């Protein structure tokens, strides 16, 4: 057990004074905060944070959930899965760390792929000398070199239903013969990973081609997604069911100790390929000192430790106590850390050397309906009327003001700000956005439930962390004005996703962050064939929408494509499989000892660029 220091007690006292001064809490609440810090420090015994006893450079970070349940690339689907998986596995391409707008560069490749004149033949060349980390699955425990067959094997795993893959939608109808291979092998007695795929062409151990069914605009982006990371066949076959918990990759880090729902500790991969910190940067990055490490071998730190925080308060207190190096700023602490009017970090934080970085997210926060549910699902006028009544009863602006300090962007549709297809000023035509109780009551009559009579209690699933319980209470209150009763079920995020994927949630809420900077990624959420366990969590199906989605896959960015995006957006708004939307600006704050810090939520392998300097 670790004893709390007087300095940490002073931090808690300062924190409590800030809370009281900002009008956010009373003295009882402040006392609870101090008690929480004592509990976190003494009872949980965060011994891994004793920097003086550890001469290695260790990064200490937080995950705002119960964390990943596995690190098998074909099974990852959430932001928290991506955070972990991106540390131990590599993809063919990666995002340039400092580039904004986002751009790609080679990772496992020696150069960017070349595309033939036909637009469908992509040629690749792997870097030589890239090895999987040492592991018992290899002869003599020595990791071998990555070759072409590893790429083909890794991607074939996405076709194997026995792996419970979450990302087949990335490959569906994209690579020549791949869909046929998937159907044939899943129908066979044994899935044959050695059977050929028409669009996989091996030229040599380090050269290969991928032949697409037609030019697919998003293909370059998926080459940087964790779902397409490269794994070793030896590891999958040796560890079997335990493979998600025994990652063997080529990434900058290897697992040292992992206790699910508690912590994930990683250490530098001693065999990581020769890669250095970039020197390509904007003038602002240079001014901020983000290029001072240019040319330095990656990863820079020696160790990386994540701790899981289902609740925000202990995470925030651990940041204030300098037990974690950076933190996302929870909404309930925003006014403590920032001046709301200017969104500028308060002087007391700046005086401690704390820095702030806001990131505008490609964010889609929604409340979804299970379209296969007998009560809230379906496509008849009555079913649409019920969902529209619920939408008209909910006040998203009140939710924004209460839980997000009014700084979220509220908008219609599923396409977030900054992407083609986002409606001007966030307003789409004929959107059933509330609150409009008069119209909501009329719609409830059309649905056959005047004043909510005859409508069973609806079941709503949400995460149990952060301020989600309070958000659920607000939703209950707003719907009660129509006579609609809501039963709230709060679960860990990983459990929430399992329930949604198994189509057992009637209503549910979470956020979707775009995997890449193209609204096609958000539109894929409503493509019928992407139903669970893939990305269509709503189980939404509309033939007209599906035809348009298949059309845009091959279209390059253009005004014509944007108009189709808008048409698809409005089709979904008419059917109403969800209520929304909001997009967040995520505020990150970091202690001055953390160097080279430029966070992103579109990609997650940026930990290898970070450095730590003891104060």
Asked whether residue 435 falls in the same domain as residue 498, the answer is yes
- The number of folded domains in the chain is 3
Q: Is the pLDDT of residue 87 over 60?
A: yes
pLDDT in tens, 60-82: 999 998 888 899 999 988 888 89
Asked whether residue 41 falls in the same domain as residue 161, the answer is no
pLDDT in tens, 129-142: 999 999 999 999 99
CA 561 – CA 520 distance, rounded (Å): 10
The token duo for 409 is 């962007």
Element (H, E) at 241: none
Summarize the confidence of residues 511-535 as an average pLDDT. Answer: 90
pLDDT in tens, 549-594: 999 988 888 999 999 999 999 999 999 999 989 998 899 999 999 9
The rounded percent of the chain whose pLDDT value lies above 70 is: 91
Burial environment of residue 411 by CB neighbours within 10 A (0 to 12, 13 to 18, 19 or more): buried
Q: What is the pLDDT of residue 6?
A: 38
Asked whether residue 28 falls in the same domain as residue 129, the answer is no
CA 491 – CA 38 distance, rounded (Å): 26
If one counts every other C-beta atom within 10 angstroms of the C-beta of residue 274, the result is 9
Q: Would 195 be classed as within a structural domain?
A: yes
Q: Is the pLDDT of residue 49 over 80?
A: no
Q: What is the pLDDT of residue 572?
A: 96
By 3-state DSSP, what share of the chain in percent is helix, strand and coil, each rounded to 5?
A: 35, 20, 45
Q: What is the pLDDT of residue 141?
A: 97
Asked whether residue 20 falls in the same domain as residue 98, the answer is no
Q: What is the pLDDT of residue 434?
A: 86
610 and 444 Cβ atoms separated by less than 8 Å: no
The DSSP bridge partners found for residue 126 are 109
Summarize the confidence of residues 195-200 as an average pLDDT. Answer: 98
Torsion of CA 80, 86, 91, 97, to 10 degrees: 100
The token duo for 174 is 């994209």
How crowded is the C-beta side of 552, counted as CA atoms within 13 Å? 28
Residue 1: pLDDT band by 50, 70, 90 thresholds?
very low
Asked whether residue 535 falls in the same domain as residue 387, the answer is yes
Q: Is the pLDDT of residue 206 over 70?
A: yes
Asked whether residue 177 falls in the same domain as residue 33, the answer is no
Q: Is the pLDDT of residue 35 over 60?
A: no
CA 580 – CA 433 distance, rounded (Å): 8
Residue 29: pLDDT band by 50, 70, 90 thresholds?
very low
240-249, 328-337, 505-514 — which one is most confidently predicted on average?
Answer: 240-249
Q: Which letter, b or e, does each residue of 215-253 get, where b requires 16 or more Cβ atoms within 10 Å of its Cβ?
A: ebbbbbbbbbbbbbbbbbebbbebbeeebbebbbbbbbb
306 and 67 Cβ atoms separated by less than 8 Å: yes
Listing from the earlier edge strand, what are the strands of the sheet with 207-211?
Answer: 114-115, 121-125, 207-211, 200-202
**What's the mean pLDDT when you consider all of the chain?**
90
Q: What is the pLDDT of residue 36?
A: 47
Asked whether residue 27 falls in the same domain as residue 133, the answer is no
CA 507 – CA 368 distance, rounded (Å): 6
Select from 188, 207, 240 the last residue of a domain.
240
- Weakest mean pLDDT among 41-55, 213-227, 569-583, 601-615: 41-55
pLDDT in tens, 445-459: 999 999 999 999 999
Asked whether residue 169 falls in the same domain as residue 37, the answer is no
Q: What is the pLDDT of residue 615?
A: 63
Summarize the confidence of residues 356-364 as an average pLDDT. Answer: 90
354 and 591 Cβ atoms separated by less than 8 Å: yes
Expressed as residue numbers, the domain containing 234 is 93-240
Residue 492: pLDDT band by 50, 70, 90 thresholds?
confident
Summarize the confidence of residues 265-273 as an average pLDDT. Answer: 96
Q: Is the pLDDT of residue 32 over 60?
A: no
Q: Which residue has the tokens 């200017």?
A: 342
- State how far the alpha carbon of 404 is from the alpha carbons of 23, 195, 289, 314, in Å: 16, 52, 31, 19
CA 403 – CA 351 distance, rounded (Å): 27
Distance of CA 537 to the CA centre of its chain: 15
Task: Collect contacts of 336-344 with beta carbons under 8 A, ≥24 apart.
Answer: 336/15, 336/18, 336/19, 336/22, 336/24, 337/587, 337/589, 338/587, 340/405, 340/407, 343/407, 343/587
Q: Would 69 be classed as within a structural domain?
A: no
Q: What is the pLDDT of residue 193?
A: 98
Residue 545: pLDDT band by 50, 70, 90 thresholds?
very high
How crowded is the C-beta side of 404, counted as CA atoms within 13 Å? 19
Asked whether residue 16 falls in the same domain as residue 127, the answer is no
Q: Is the pLDDT of residue 284 over 50?
A: yes
Asked whether residue 470 falls in the same domain as residue 556, the answer is yes
Element (H, E) at 60: strand 58-63
The DSSP bridge partners found for residue 123 are 114, 209
The DSSP bridge partners found for residue 145 are 131
Q: Would 465 be classed as within a structural domain?
A: yes
More confident residue, 195 or 418: 195
More confident residue, 251 or 464: 251
pLDDT in tens, 271-281: 999 999 999 99
Summarize the confidence of residues 7-11 as an average pLDDT. Answer: 43
Q: What is the pLDDT of residue 570?
A: 94
Q: Is the pLDDT of residue 429 over 90?
A: no
More confident residue, 41 or 67: 67
Select from 11, 30, 45 the last residue of a domain.
45
Q: Would 387 be classed as within a structural domain?
A: yes
- Weakest mean pLDDT among 12-26, 227-241, 335-349, 516-530: 12-26
Residue 253: pLDDT band by 50, 70, 90 thresholds?
very high
Specify the CATH number for the domain of residue 120: 3.90.76.10
Q: Would 259 be classed as within a structural domain?
A: no
Q: Computed over its alpha carbons, how large is the radius of gyration of the chain?
A: 25
Q: Would 279 be classed as within a structural domain?
A: no
Asked whether residue 29 falls in the same domain as residue 161, the answer is no
Q: What is the pLDDT of residue 43?
A: 41
Specify the CATH number for the domain of residue 571: 3.10.105.10
pLDDT in tens, 373-414: 999 999 999 999 999 999 999 999 999 999 988 889 999 999
Asked whether residue 575 falls in the same domain as residue 470, the answer is yes
Q: Would 358 be classed as within a structural domain?
A: no
CA 265 – CA 56 distance, rounded (Å): 13
If one counts every other C-beta atom within 10 angstroms of the C-beta of residue 542, the result is 20
Select from 185, 220, 240 the last residue of a domain.
240
């Amino acid at each position: 057990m670790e004893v709390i220091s007087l300095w940490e007690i002073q931090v808690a006292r300062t924190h409590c004074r800030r809370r009281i001064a900002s009008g956010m809490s009373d003295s009882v609440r402040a006392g609870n905060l101090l008690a929480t810090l004592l509990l976190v420090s003494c009872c949980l015994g965060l011994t891994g944070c004793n920097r003086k006893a550890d001469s290695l450079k260790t990064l200490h970070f937080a995950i705002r959930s119960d964390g990943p349940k596995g690190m098998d690339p074909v099974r990852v689907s959430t932001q928290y899965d991506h955070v972990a998986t991106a540390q131990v596995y590599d993809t063919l391409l990666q995002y340039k760390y400092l580039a904004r707008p986002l751009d790609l560069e080679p990772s496992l490749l020696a150069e960017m792929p070349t595309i033939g004149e036909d637009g469908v033949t992509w040629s690749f060349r792997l870097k030589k000398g890239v090895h999987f980390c040492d592991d018992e699955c290899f002869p003599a425990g020595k990791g071998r070199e990555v070759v072409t067959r590893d790429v083909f094997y890794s991607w074939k795993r996405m076709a194997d239903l026995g792996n419970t893959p979450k990302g087949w939608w990335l490959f569906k109808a994209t690579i020549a013969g791949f869909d046929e291979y998937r159907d044939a092998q899943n129908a066979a007695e044994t899935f044959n990973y050695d059977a050929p795929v028409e669009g996989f062409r091996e030229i040599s151990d380090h050269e290969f081609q991928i032949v697409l069914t037609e030019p697919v605009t998003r293909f370059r982006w998926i080459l940087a997604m964790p779902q397409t990371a490269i794994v070793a066949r030896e590891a999958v076959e040796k560890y079997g069911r335990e493979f998600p918990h025994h990652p063997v990759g080529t990434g900058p880090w290897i697992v040292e100790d992992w206790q699910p729902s508690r912590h994930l500790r990683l250490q530098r991969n001693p065999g990581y390929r020769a890669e250095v910190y970039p020197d390509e940067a904007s003038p602002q990055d240079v001014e901020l000192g983000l290029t001072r490490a240019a040319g330095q071998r990656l990863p820079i730190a020696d160790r990386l430790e994540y701790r899981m925080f289902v609740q925000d308060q202990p995470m925030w207190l651990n940041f204030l106590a300098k037990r974690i190096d950076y933190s996302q700023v929870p909404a309930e602490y925003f006014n403590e850390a920032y001046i709301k009017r200017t969104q500028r970090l308060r002087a007391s934080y700046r005086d401690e050397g704390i820095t702030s970085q806001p990131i505008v997210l490609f964010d889609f926060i929604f409340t979804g309906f299970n379209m296969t549910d007998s009560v809230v699902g379906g496509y008849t006028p009555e079913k649409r009327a019920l969902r529209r009544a619920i939408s008209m009863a909910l006040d998203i602006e009140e939710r924004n003001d209460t839980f997000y300090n009014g700084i979220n962007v509220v908008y219609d549709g599923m396409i977030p700000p900054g992407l083609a297809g986002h409606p001007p000023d966030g307003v789409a035509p004929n959107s059933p956005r509330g609150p409009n109780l008069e119209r909501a009551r009329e719609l409830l009559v059309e649905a056959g439930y005047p004043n909510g009579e005859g409508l069973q209690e609806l079941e709503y699933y949400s995460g149990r962390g952060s301020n989600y319980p309070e958000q659920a209470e607000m939703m209950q209150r707003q719907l009660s004005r129509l006579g609609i009763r809501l039963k709230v079920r709060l679960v860990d995020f990983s459990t929430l996703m399992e329930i949604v994927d198994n189509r057992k949630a009637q209503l549910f809420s979470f956020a979707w962050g775009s995997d890449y900077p193209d609204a096609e990624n958000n539109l894929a959420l409503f493509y019928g064939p992407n139903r669970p366990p893939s990305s269509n969590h709503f189980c939404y199906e509309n033939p007209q929408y599906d035809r348009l989605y298949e059309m845009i896959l091959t279209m390059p960015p253009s005004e014509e494509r944007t108009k189709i995006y808008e048409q698809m957006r409005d089709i979904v708004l008419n059917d109403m499989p969800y209520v929304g939307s909001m997009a967040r600006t995520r505020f990150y704050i970091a202690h001055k000892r953390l160097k080279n810090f430029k966070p992103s939520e579109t990609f997650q392998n940026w930990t290898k660029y970070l450095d730590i300097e003891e104060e």
